[in-house]
Amino acid sequence: MSSVRPKRSDVHHPEPDGQVVPKLCESCEARHRGVCGALPGDDLLRLSKISVRKTLKSGESVVCDEDDVISFSNVLNGVVKLSKLLPDGRQQIVGLQFAPDFLGRPFRAESHLTAEASGDVHLCSFPRAEFESMMRDNPELEHRILAQTLEQLDEARDWMMTLGRKTAREKIASYLLMIARHSAPQPPSGQGVAIDLPLSRGDMADFLGLTIETVSRQMTALRKAKVIEFDSARAVRIPSLRALERAAGE
Partner DNA sequence: CCGGATCGTTGACGCAGATCAACGTCGCTG
Partner DNA sequence: CAGCGACGTTGATCTGCGTCAACGATCCGG
Question: Buried b vs exposed e over 174-194: b needs ≥16 C-beta within 10 Å?
Answer: bbbbbbbeeeeeeeeeeebbb
106's contact among DNA, its own copies, none, with CB below 5 to 8 A by partner kind, is its own copies
Distance CA(113)–CA(66), nearest Å, equals 8
The correct pick among 85, 168, 241, 243 for binding DNA (CB under 7 A) is 168
Of 139 and 202, nearer to its own copies (C-beta) is 139
The correct pick among 54, 61, 65, 106 for binding its own copies (CB under 8 A) is 106
Q: How far is the CB of 235 from DNA (least distance, A)?
A: 11
Specify the DSSP class assigned to residue 5: S
| Whether 224 contacts 185, CB under 8 Å | no
Q: How far is the CB of 67 from its own copies (least distance, A)?
A: 16
Beta-bridged to residue 13, according to DSSP, are 21
216's contact among its own copies, DNA, none, with CB below 5 to 8 A by partner kind, is DNA
Of 31 and 201, nearer to DNA (C-beta) is 201
Taking Cα atoms as reference points, which of 172, 183, 200 lies closest to residue 58? Answer: 200
Q: How far is the CB of 8 from its own copies (least distance, A)?
A: 35
The correct pick among 111, 152, 211, 240 for binding DNA (CB under 7 A) is 211
- Using CB under 7 A as the binding rule, whether residue 77 contacts DNA is answered as no
Mask 146-165, x = binds its own copies (CB under 8 A)? xx-xx-xxx-xxxxxx-xxx
Distance CA(44)–CA(62), nearest Å, equals 23
Which alpha helices (H) appear in 66-138, and where do they start and end? Answer: 128-137
156's contact among DNA, its own copies, none, with CB below 5 to 8 A by partner kind, is its own copies
- Using CB under 7 A as the binding rule, whether residue 233 contacts DNA is answered as yes
Specify the DSSP class assigned to residue 4: S
Question: Buried b vs exposed e over 67-80: b needs ≥16 C-beta within 10 Å?
Answer: eebebbbbbbebbb
Q: How far is the CB of 169 from DNA (least distance, A)?
A: 6
Distance CA(58)–CA(103), nearest Å, equals 17
212's contact among its own copies, DNA, none, with CB below 5 to 8 A by partner kind, is DNA
| Whether 162 contacts 171, CB under 8 Å | yes
Three-state secondary structure call for residue 14:
strand
| Whether 203 contacts 93, CB under 8 Å | yes
The contact set with its own copies (CB under 8 A) reads 82, 84, 86-88, 90-92, 94-95, 105-108, 112-113, 139, 142-143, 145-147, 149-150, 152-154, 156-161, 163-166, 208-209, 249-250
The contact set with DNA (CB under 7 A) reads 167-169, 200-202, 209-217, 219-220, 230, 233-234
